[in-house]
Structure 1
Amino acid sequence: MEKNIATLIDRMVTDCKLIVRNPTRLSWGDSEMCDALFRTLFRRLDATIATYHHLPEYDEVIDWMHDTRGVGLLLIGDCGRGKSIITTGLVPVLLGMKEISAYAVHADELNKLYPFAASTMGMDPKTSCLDYLARCPYPIIDELGVEPMINDYGERYEGFNRIINAAERYSRPLFLSTNLTKGDLLNRYGERTFDRLRHLCRVVEFRGDSLR
């Protein structure tokens, strides 16, 4: 019976009649290897750092690197503690090490053209960053919360909800940084979206003075 069920499911997936949620777990080595890799990448990605300061928050990211458990990262909290470096630099490099191509989008550019659309096979050159992120297997957004509402023929809506709807449907990990609090996220995007964020991301809170 199990064999028949598996065959049926495989056929329905092939015919695009069924979506099976199957998140991919990634790892960049054991804890020691991930710690060394994190420190190396962080220093290389921000040449403005005179002295590297290892923050407690970084240990949570390193633990995620050891075993992603099929989820992404939601970096939330105070400014100037490395959230954007991790989101726009470290995450794309880590994914690149797995031969996964992903482009980090700043939240205020959601309604702008995706800069690599014209050179991507099968993609409409007029594809927006929002459209790209809604299709991307590994969406990356920096400074979530600063984006404007999307105006579609007079109807205004939160573009981010499109991205997270697709991520939830296909079990895609999300990579996000934001200066909003958990309460701010809940108020802006709603309880349903906030609950999905906790399901698709490992939440890491950054607390403390800016290192800038």
Structure 2
Amino acid sequence: MNNLVQEVLREYEMLRDKSLKEALMRRQEVYRKIPEISNIDDEIKDIGIEISKSIFLKPQKHKDLLENLRSRLNALKKKKADLLRSNGYPETYMEQKFECNICKDTGYVNNKRCKCFEQKLINLYYRQSSIEDITKIENFSNFDYYLYSDKPYKGKMSPRENMKSIVDVAKDFIDNFDNEKESLFFYGDSGLGKTFLSNCIAKELLDRGKVVLYRTAPDLVEGLRLNKLNSDNDSYYEYTDLLRECDLLIIDDLGTEPITPFSLQEIFSIVNARLLANKKFIISTNLPLSEVMNIYPERLCSRILGNFKLLNFYGEDIRIKRKTIN
């Protein structure tokens, strides 16, 4: 988080430097074409110095002096604006242009973060999450219940009703994210919308300024392995810090990673550390629960059973229907 904040502050510094250089270039251009404006600016500077001196050197007369100086200052500013307009320039042409006129590209207003600062952080969160592009498509605006059958399924409620129930849980998870104690565990056959719903939730939380990280289980394990093998071992700890400290960690396709002592230990360590810190997960798998219990050690399964809402996706593969509709 601190690294991301520092990145935003560096961006503001670059913006200010760029806008200042551009303003200086515009000023030099105007001075070349309208030399009189250069003289006016020199007079304006001199008046500014006189105003400062009058307050300290002649306090008994400073009100009258200030009134006279301000009158001269306003006359010079008007003359400068007239000259700019008559030569085809807008009055503000020489001024420094800011991306955000509220905070002047400092990121802060009255010692509080400006809205633009929060938006820049959100944009970084999106890039950090690795799902910036997919959430433009996979979000609640594009969620279609009619892809799911409204017929009862194997003695249970219809897939459509089941999906509506799961989405209600998901939206409650979003709305009460800071106070929610349980994470979400999606399980069921492939092609039933587990990843789509995960991305819907991710977008909502990213838009609310939460740090969300998405990894498939194979990518997660491979990233840990590569970083651990790296001669610069700091990279491993930086990567695990990101996995442990983000607000929401999405682990997709659990069970498709290589099942090795290394992968089992690393996944357990991340799950355990985040749960101890009251950090939230979405974990999804195409495996039935019984197989999850057989593959993963009891200490990991007990944490899933005790700290996650288990949500079963069932029905027919909706990817085929979606392709037909599209």
TM range (shorter): 0.5 to 0.7
Report what 1:90 is aligned to.
Answer: 200
Aligned counterpart, 2:191: 80
Confirm whether residue 143 of structure 1 aligns to residue 241 of structure 2. no
Establish whether residue 63 from structure 1 lines up as the match of residue 157 from structure 2: no
Distance 1:91 1:129 in 2: 23
Partner of 1:27: none
Distance (Å, rounded) in 1 between the aligned partners of 2:239 and 2:220: 5
Task: Indicate which of 95, 102, 111 corresponds to 2:212.
Answer: 102
Measure how far apart 1:165 and its partner are. Answer: 1.1
Alpha-carbon distance in structure 2 between the residues aligned to 1:72 and 1:167? 11
Identity of matched residues, %:
24
- CA shift digits 1:41-78 (9 cap, x unpaired): 24548xxx8x9525322422323422553322111011
Q: 1:192 to 1:151 in 2, by over 3 A?
A: closer
**Structure holding more helix per residue:** 2
> What's the counterpart of residue 147 of structure 2?
53
CA contact (8 A) 2:182 2:307 kept: yes
> What residue number does 1:186 align with?
293
Q: Which SS does the other structure have where 2:202 is aligned?
A: helix
> What residue number does 1:134 align with?
244
SS of the aligned residue for 1:132 comes to helix
Partner of 2:306: 199
Counterparts of residues 159-170 of structure 1 (less than 5 Å): 159-170=266-277
Distance (Å, rounded) in 2 between the aligned partners of 1:60 and 1:141: 18
* Distance verdict in 2 for CA 1:130–1:105, change over 3 Å: farther
CA contact (8 A) 2:210 2:247 kept: no
Residue-pair matches, total: 158
Q: Distance in 2 between matches of 1:140 and 1:125?
A: 21
The residue identity in structure 2 corresponding to 1:163 is: I
Assess if the C-alpha contact under 8 Å between 2:139 and 2:196 holds in 1. Answer: no
CA distance in 2, matches of 1:203, 1:84: 15
Unpaired stretches in structure 1, ≥5 consecutive residues: 1-39, 118-123
Shift of 1:131: 5.7
What amino acid sits opposite 2:275 in the alignment? E
- SS of 1:174's partner is strand
1:78-125 CA distance string (max 9 Å, x none): 1111001112x11211211321021210111123448xx9xxxxxx55
Name the structure 1 match of 2:70: none
Give the structure, 1 or 2, with the largest relative contact order (CA under 8 Å, sep 6 or more).
1
Alignment of 1:31-46 (within 5 A): 41-44=139-142
Compared with structure 1, are the counterparts of its residues 112 and 80 closer, same or farther at alpha carbon in structure 2 (3 Å cutoff)? same
Is 2:139–2:197's contact at 8 Å kept on the other side of the alignment? no
Write the distance in 1 (CA, Å) between the matches of 2:238 and 2:253: 18
Distance 1:151 1:143 in 2: 18
* 1:71–1:85 Cα change, 3 Å: same
SS of the residue 2:185 aligns to: strand
Q: Is the 1:109–1:129 contact (alpha carbons within 8 Å) kept by the matching residues of 2?
A: no
RMSD: 3.2
- Whole-angstrom distance in 1 between the partners of 2:236 and 2:265: 20
Q: CA, structure 1 residues 189+134, in 2 after alignment: closer, same or farther (shift >3 Å)?
A: farther
Q: Distance in 2 between matches of 1:141 and 1:70?
A: 18
